Chains A and B, each alone.
Chain A
Amino acid sequence: MSNVPDDLKYTAEHEWVKVDGAEVTIGVTDHAQSEMGDITYVELPDVGGDVDKGNDVVALESVKAASDVYAPVSGKIVAVNTELEDSPELVNSAPYGDGWLVRIEMADASQLDALMDAAAYREHIENA
């Protein structure tokens, strides 16, 4: 059973969201990294750019396939995890920690209401 921390929010597309005041940090879940296999390349957006909820914000590549990560909320990209340029495997080994992807300054905090809590996400992956 994959790891699903209780203090995070989740999307149906297997992203996690950590709320920190007006900002959120996002990444992909343990379930997602396990499904994808070894991540070999991460394409991060530019800091300062805007992103709309539901649009692809990060591209992940594994040995066999490519996967898009979608922005769970709209806002401005205020930070990206540049460690992933040389160490994309952090997404696999520490998906909730050092494998974080981007930090977004939210344009509309009410968008958080549409996200799942840990229990709902656990059920989501169990039924997948």
Chain B
Amino acid sequence: MSDSDTLKKTPLYDWHLERNARMVDFGGWAMPVQYTSILDEHTVCRNKIALFDTSHMGQFEIRGSGAREALDKIVSRSLAGLKPGQARYGFLCDENGGTIDDTVVYRHPDDTDETHYYMVVNAGTTDGDREHVSALLPKTVSLEDVSAQTVKIDIQGPAARLPLAAICDADLKSLKRFHAIMTAVLGEVCLVSRSGYTGEYGFELYCGVEHGRAVWQALIEHGAPRGLKPAGLGARDTLRTEVCLPLYGHELSRDITPVMAGQQWAISFDKTFLGVDALRKENATGPARRIVPFLLEGRQAARPGDIVTDSSGSELGVVTSGTFCPSLNRAGGMMLIDSESAMPGATVDIRLKRRTVQAGIVDKPLYKKPKK
């Protein structure tokens, strides 16, 4: 890449280059989009184990007396009743209910009195989120941006626990979804979370920079005999699209509220937080436009930005995410369209570059894990 000198690099950048990964600019970061093949990396995640470098994301340590109460005024989801290590997904909103970012907030595993929280945010929005949250915290609560000191590794897939168990003595089997522990991985303490962004079983690891490189290498070595492969952002996108997980900038934005995105489950409407008034109003009347999943008949994909119309050609909205779905062998995605037309079972038209295709609106997820 000609301008990779100006892009930010994760601590694992050299490793990706050594493996001849195809690198792309993702939100100002030089990230691997694929190592061998997006389809291959996607399939390995669904069937075995995939390893993702997600160090471009942001992490904040939030500490101080009154931290929980302060965060409850900023994040859409109630943080009351969280056990140490437990996380909740929610949103940072502006006063209009517009989404500033989506976030996972942990009550820190070491916390004893609701004064220590760990907030994970998206890559391109880290700086804005830091400013936003910092400005709203009282003097007793501090925010430390530890993004630059953190390597984040996602290990995802049915067999994801095995390579991690080889370098970590903790009882990973009993770690519940959206719970984290501080535990030694390869001899040094990391935050290990049972969570992910693929629809598969797996973990997200948060390590120091030098140590993170060693952990990545060790997971590759212990995982390879079990079929583990490194996977890039291309597969990360097809995986999350298939299970209809929103991506900030696509299904969530300043103009797409969490209510429009169908994420009411992650909004505590009876709590006072920035944006709740607007979200309550919007939820009561129903949003004018909604995000819904869709499937196409064939393999040709609709892409973000493609216009959605009714059968007579009147515009209904736009595709927000769209791709060939490797686990379905057909194309699909999500769209933001007029709520009256956004009914599962309905069909709409999508204007592709050279022709118009019919799309079926469905319930999420597009891909359902086959029952054992």
- Knowing that A63-B234, A66-B353, A88-B299 are A-B contacts, what are 12 other residue pairs whose CB atoms are under 8 Å apart, sorted by A's residue number? A37-B37, A38-B37, A38-B39, A41-B298, A41-B299, A41-B301, A41-B324, A61-B300, A63-B38, A64-B33, A64-B38, A89-B39
Whose C-beta in chain B lies nearest to the C-beta of A40? B324
Produce 1/0 per residue, B270-300, CB < 8 A to A: 0000000000000000000000000000111
Residue numbers of A with Cβ under 8 A of B are 37-38, 40-41, 43, 59, 61, 63-64, 66, 88-89, 92
Q: State the CA gap A92–B34 with chains docked (Å).
A: 15
> Could you count the A-B residue pairs with CB atoms below 8 Å apart for me: how many are there?
40
Q: Which residues of A contact B33 (CB under 8 A)?
A: 64
The one of A38, A43, A63, A64 that contacts B300, using a Cβ cutoff of 8 Å: A43
Please classify the interface of chain B as helix (H, G, I), strand (E, B), loop, or mixed, using the class held by over half of its residues. Answer: mixed
Produce 1/0 per residue, B289-330, CB < 8 A to A: 000000000111100000000000000000000011000000
B235 to chain A, nearest CB (A): 9
Q: State the CA gap A73–B366 with chains docked (Å).
A: 43
**30 sample A-B contacts, Cβ–Cβ < 8 Å, listed by A number:** A37-B34, A37-B234, A38-B38, A38-B40, A40-B39, A40-B299, A40-B324, A41-B298, A41-B299, A41-B300, A41-B301, A41-B331, A43-B300, A43-B354, A59-B354, A61-B299, A61-B300, A61-B301, A61-B324, A63-B38, A63-B39, A63-B234, A63-B238, A63-B323, A63-B324, A64-B33, A64-B38, A64-B234, A89-B39, A92-B37
Whose C-beta in chain A lies nearest to the C-beta of B353? A66
In the complex, which residues 17-51 of chain B have their Cβ closer than 8 Å to any Cβ of chain A?
22, 33-34, 37-40
B21 to chain A, nearest CB (A): 12
Residue numbers of B with Cβ under 8 A of A are 22, 33-34, 37-40, 234, 238, 298-301, 323-324, 331, 353-354
Top 10 nearest A-B pairs by Cβ distance?
A40-B324, A41-B299, A38-B39, A63-B38, A41-B300, A38-B37, A40-B299, A38-B38, A63-B324, A63-B234
Residue in B38, B323, B331 with the greatest tally of chain A CB atoms within 10 Å = B38
A126 to chain B, nearest CB (A): 17
Q: Which residues of B contact A61 (CB under 8 A)?
A: 299-301, 324
Q: Which residues of B contact A40 (CB under 8 A)?
A: 39, 299, 301, 324, 331
A66 to chain B, nearest CB (A): 7
Q: Which residues of A contact B353 (CB under 8 A)?
A: 66
Q: State the CA gap A41–B354 with chains docked (Å).
A: 14
Q: Which residues of B contact A66 (CB under 8 A)?
A: 353
Q: Which residues of B contact A37 (CB under 8 A)?
A: 22, 34, 37-38, 234
Q: State the CA gap A38–B40 with chains docked (Å).
A: 9
Residue in A38, A41, A88 with the greatest tally of chain B CB atoms within 10 Å = A38
A62 to chain B, nearest CB (A): 8
Residue in A38, A61, A63, A92 with the greatest tally of chain B CB atoms within 10 Å = A63
Q: Which residues of A contact B34 (CB under 8 A)?
A: 37
A49 to chain B, nearest CB (A): 15
Q: Which residues of B contact A64 (CB under 8 A)?
A: 33, 38, 234
Q: Which residues of B contact A92 (CB under 8 A)?
A: 37
Q: Which residues of B contact A63 (CB under 8 A)?
A: 38-39, 234, 238, 323-324
Q: State the CA gap A4–B33 with chains docked (Å).
A: 26
Q: Which residues of A contact B323 (CB under 8 A)?
A: 63
Q: State the CA gap A40–B238 with chains docked (Å).
A: 13
Q: State the CA gap A43–B324 with chains docked (Å).
A: 14
